[in-house]
Structure 1
Amino acid sequence: MPPDTDPRTTRSRKAITAATRRLLLEHGPAAVTHVRVAEASGVGRATVYRHWPRSDQLLAEAMAAVPMPFFDTPPDRGTPTVEWVRAELTSLARQLGLPDVRAVTTTLANAALWDMGMDARRSGFAHLLAQRLSSALHVAQERGEVTLSSTGDHAAALAIGPLYYRATIEHAPIDEHLIQAAIDALGTWHI
């Protein structure tokens, strides 16, 4: 049986990634070492090293499990784009209020400063969010719903940046007033 379909391999990989994620969430990225992951997962250290030779690979694996659902479904024709943006930002605010999501996002941002692989992952997330939001906003502008004050990456920074800052730097809840300010920063809404 090939190693990638061996049930024991599958079980050990799942145990390792679950333990890595727990360590990250409970103790931060410095806790993600082969020794601690092996202890927490109940899997031998040699097995952990075989699957992930470097601890940064373990960290990347744990963060890869976090989905990126924001702005992934464009607004339907019956929903004003401003309401779609509000719903998406409210969902993002709820997620950033969760300790595990906050830990993963701050770890990704921090690790990206020194690790090319993590920086590529960060860049991919940023590009994906910016592209999704920008696309919806351009459609809204074509339909006459909004006159944009900024486009592309700037729109994502204007909308998401304040929420990220409030959740991660200030460690404070994101309220509807901040969400409205982020929406208003995108442009003048004609609804």
Structure 2
Amino acid sequence: MTYSTDPRAVRSREAMLAAARQLLRHEGPGAVTHQRIAQEAGVGRATVYRHWPQSEKLLVDAMGGAELPLFKDPEPPVREWLHRQLRRMADELAVPTVAAASLTLAQSAIWDAEIARRYDESVTTISDRIHAAVRSAVESGELTTDLNASDLAVVLVGPIVYRTAMQRGLVPDALIARLVTGIGTWHT
């Protein structure tokens, strides 16, 4: 899409993106709708649709300026930190609109190269952060594991996404504990 250089259109777009990011930050992906952004930015809903005809592109643009909070800044003991991060992810994905937005983005990434690029960046960020945390646990002697970096996120995050998004169920703490325990031998 070619963006207008008209100063009013630029200001409107910036206001809409700011509103979308604020909604995303404070209420989560489910709040990032054309109607809510129009209300928050003080523009007409048609203006939002003119800039983002597809909801998923609107969400992707909003996420593009937001820092991904999950699995950030690991702290020892890593086992407990990892459990808290997985619990946070499971709780967020348990909200139907968040699960729906996640699945919509994953599906859209199959068909749209720009969405795929941004989606892949988010997935890579999560994988890299999990790997860094586990690597620090291994280096400190807290954990012994033979899982490679690419498998860590699959083993830890995959079951949570499956339970929340595919089965539309809640993730009990016992399952998260099994996932964390399953990545290796924890030493206390």
The correspondence for 2:83, drawn from 83, 86, 107, is: 86
| Partner of residue 135, structure 1 | 132
| Partner of residue 99, structure 1 | 96
1:60 equivalent in alignment to 2:60: yes
Deviates more, 1:129-138 or 1:143-152: 143-152
Contact 1:86 1:183 in 2 (8 A): yes
Deviation at 1:81, TM superposition (A): 1.1
SS in 1 for 2:182: helix
- 1:1-191 paired onto structure 2 within 5 Å: 3=7, 10-11=14-15, 17=20, 25=30, 37=34, 41=38, 43=44, 45=46, 48-49=49-50, 51-52=51-52, 55=54, 57-64=57-64, 68-75=68-75, 79-191=76-188
The TM-score normalised by the length of structure 2 is 0.75
Question: Could you list the per-position Cα deviations for residues 124-155 of structure 1 after superposition, in whole angstroms to 9, with x for gaps in the alignment?
Answer: 11110111110111111111111113121210
Q: CA distance change for structure 1 residues 83 and 6 in 2, over 3 Å: closer, same or farther?
A: same
Q: Percent identity?
A: 26
Contact 2:17 2:62 in 1 (8 A): no
Unaligned 5+ segments in structure 2 are 1-5
The TM-score normalised by the length of structure 1 is 0.74
Contact 1:63 1:104 in 2 (8 A): no
The structure having more radius of gyration, on CA atoms, is: 1
CA distance in 1, matches of 2:114, 2:11: 29
Aligned partner letter, 2:173: E
Segments of 4+ moved more than 6 angstroms: 4-7
SS in 1 for 2:125: helix
